[in-house]
Amino acid sequence: MKSSEARPLLLLLLRHEETENPRGVLYGQQEVPLSPRGRARTQALVRKLARLPVKAVYGSDLTRAAYGAELLSRETGAPLTLTPLLREIHFGRWTGLTFAELLEIPEFRERLANPAEIRPPGGESLRELSVRALKALNLIREKHPEGLVVVFAHGGFNRALLCTLFEIPLKRFFSLEQRPGAMNLMVFFPEAPPLLALLNAPPELDLAPFLDYYGSGAGPYHKP
């Protein structure tokens, strides 16, 4: 098959569902379980995704993301990889603090204005998260040049990867919404720029028409 006829990589990047703990807290890489509703919604999503031709499943090794990845791998038989490369940003000593508590910290207020470079004490900056996210993506692309790959990750990780991949300034990081359960579909054509086909889509969305269209090789670089 010529490279121009090759099928693309369809990367479905998910944010985990809602967690058990209250909102307004920076959890970062702290373990937080999914809520009963979050588990039920993840199970519903997995049942839907299991009907698709999933080639591989990746997930953060944090429980709230790994739960869905493990379920989908079990349902489809697709190989599973859990890796710390897909973890949420490391908030260091800010982990577990509420937003109100964080606003009392001058460095945190500065980070709101300059999110790319300000590093939480003992944690990582958005710039560093972006490097990690891109490394994770490149490893996936090297192993899976085509087909449907599903990734269960986190809101901050997803934003950082999308900013880096589509050359969005990190100062606009918080402009990219990632609701619990959000679906993002990226399409990687051979020898062409990546395409963002879905952003922050609800998990109830029927993916089949998108996968049929882009999986055929259609898109801005080739019309069916």
Strand partners for 12: 150, 185
pTM: 0.93
Q: Show the domains of the chain with their CATH numbers.
A: 3-215 (3.40.50.1240)
The tens digit of pLDDT for each residue in 72-128 reads 999 999 999 999 999 999 999 999 999 899 999 999 998 888 888 889 999 999 999
pLDDT class of 2 with cuts at 50, 70, 90 = very low
Judged against a pLDDT cut of 60, whether residue 3 lies above it is answered with: no
Strands in 195-201's sheet, in edge-to-edge order, are: 80-83, 54-60, 147-153, 9-15, 183-188, 195-201
Q: At what angle do helices 126-143 and 155-165 cross, to 10 degrees?
A: 80
Name the least confident of 4-13, 24-33, 37-46, 105-114: 4-13
Specify the pairing of strand 9-15 against strand 195-201.
unpaired
**Token pair of 192, please?**
């062409």
Around 33, how many Cα atoms within 13 Å sit in the side-chain half-sphere? 6
Asked if 203 and 42 count as a contact pair (C-beta separation under 8 A), the reply is: no
pLDDT, position 25:
87
Specify the pairing of strand 80-83 against strand 54-60.
parallel
Rounded CA separation 12/187 (Å): 9
